[in-house]
Structure 1
Amino acid sequence: MATTVAYDRVTVLKAFDDTKTGVKGLVDAGITKIPPFFVHPPEKPTSKPPATLHIPIIDLDGVAADAGKRAEAIRMMVGASETLGFFQVVNHGIPLTVLDEMVEGVKRFFEGDVEVKKAYYTRDTSKKVIHNCNFDLFRAPAANWRDSFLCLMAPEPPLPEEVPPACREIIFEFADYVKKLGLLLFELLSEALGLNSDYLKDIECAKGLNVVSHYYPPCPEPELTFGNGRHSDPDFLTILLQDQIGGLQILHQDQWCDVPPTHGALVINLGDILQLITNDKFKSVEHRVISKSVGPRISVACFFRTFLHTSSRLYGPIKELTSSEKPPLYKEVTVKDYVSYFNSKGLDGESALDHFKI
């Protein structure tokens, strides 16, 4: 019986995936009940009800030239990185017009011609441009209510003609700004760790960039599923652009806390591999996106990592951050192997970091 049930689930998932229309296709078809494979089992209960948490907003204006402003930004960054794993940045150098156009470009792609979108739909992770619904559709315990579009923008971006016309121009412009912001953030984080400002850049933390756009259609039964289930990010750093719909929550002190969107601000969260190399000094915090009956919600997550780059560099706890009193907590691992493990298990609610502990 168990084999039959498992076979039926795989058959249903394959039939859904073969449509190449994702969650958007279900909504366009007018469904009023979500398919069973989107229904999530009850999460482990937290001890406190959801709340709204103040996420520090760090002003980056003048940090390159003004020592006082730089010191204040780093002070706030240390506090946020050691406790929340999240902070926001303003005056980050990316014009508001670029942020707004990036959101619109994502919307144009997902709400555009179905046949055009199907041409990009794939589960071939060797491609630089990937459209699909749930990277872990066939592995995770339940699917998330979202469609995604990934572009590998560094170290070797796709050719312009490989990117959909609906968002082609803006995604290259946006990625150029994000790469510059990423370098600045890694400088400040290096100094926040008491290291040379180029330390994290020199070990290639900023070398790889994936820009992943998510489209969360309105859900007819939002209480039964998630837009993105509980997870932490398998990277060094994530820069998140989100629209004004909201839905992002982080887990803090055993409590899910809302992260209300602030127009023009970017949400920054630290990834698993940064927690690994800082030997738990900086935290990669679990977060999720709740489903809503309104929408669509659009977000663009920019992941700094090198796993699609042919790097064999091993990452382990930074020697300057370890001692006899604070011995290394993790084994060395390549980013490729870390992400491969993360992807193989899917978003199952468990941290991939535990697998690499000594």
Structure 2
Amino acid sequence: MKAVAVRPGTPNSVHMQEIARPSVDQVADGLGVLVKVLKVGVDATDREINDALYGNAPEGDDYLVIGHECFGVVEAVGENVKRVKPGDFVTATVRRPGNSIYDLIGTNDMTSEETYYERGINLRHGFLTEYFVDEEEYIVRVPQGLQHLHVLQEPMSCAAKAVHQAYEAQRRMKVWNPKVAYVLGAGQIGLLTTLVLKLRGLEVFTLARGEAPNLKAEIVEGMESTYVSTAQTSMSELVAKTGRPDLIVDATGFSPLAFEAMEHIGHNGVVVWTGITGGERKTEVPSDKINIEWVLGNKLLLGSVNANRGHFEMGIRDLALGDMMFPGVLEKILTNPVDGLDNFQEMMRLLVEDKDALKVFVNVASA
């Protein structure tokens, strides 16, 4: 069957790869789930893997099937599968376990090992193909009523985790009741993080470079939040208007901005970094100022990478509630469909060249 792959370490190596069709019998103990892929979302991670900035092939192969944001329908299940059945819409988690204690208890996203395994990213093949098989544990059912939001399930899990981790960490404060949040970046993660925070009752300001009116501003405002163009209002100027925020989530993947956030967070506040910065950029920061303010202000910086099953389930609940609260808004994120695996070059062109492509996804098959 067809798959879209790269040769890790070789820039611009994206190509069509022929691979064997899997079966449920490949998973032990009757726990296999065979999924027919309907749609796959692609993003900057796929572009950067094709740029050879990171990513490794599974052992024994010289290629890596990319694509880590999947939406499909269950085709067949092993005899001991209980959570899903043929005909169910599903998505799949990305991280797979290593051998640390965190991997063994189902929190693969918190592994303490240097080597990590992620489908479509590192040492495990991804979903940009016709079918895949996986263990029931990593397959998450998607309600039929959310099929129109298809590939948003995986990025939503990342947004849900980032916010959840901030609240989990702030249990240290005994009482933490944040009122104002900034979201840096209005890509898919930034917009979905805006939704998660809005549903928690915060006043949310989403910062991005583009001047309104634009689609990102329309989506942010559709979620009853405030869009701020940094071309018109700097973060410092926004702080002067709102006061220091209690929570800042960086979803830009632009390290200078991630570090700038540390200068503006309020007392007892949290900065969450979700962006990946592949490269060697250096930036200058007011380290003495940050040092004293962070110590005296009991401030917290945490990193958040992908998500486990629990976060996927949180995200699906928030997507369902958000879709009811703000009907028609979330599907506006799904901007650029590409029809068929054969059009992988167009898929990559959109990722590289089209700055207005908010969410690129591949229509692999119909249900």
Instruction: Give TM-score scaled by structure 1 length.
Output: 0.27
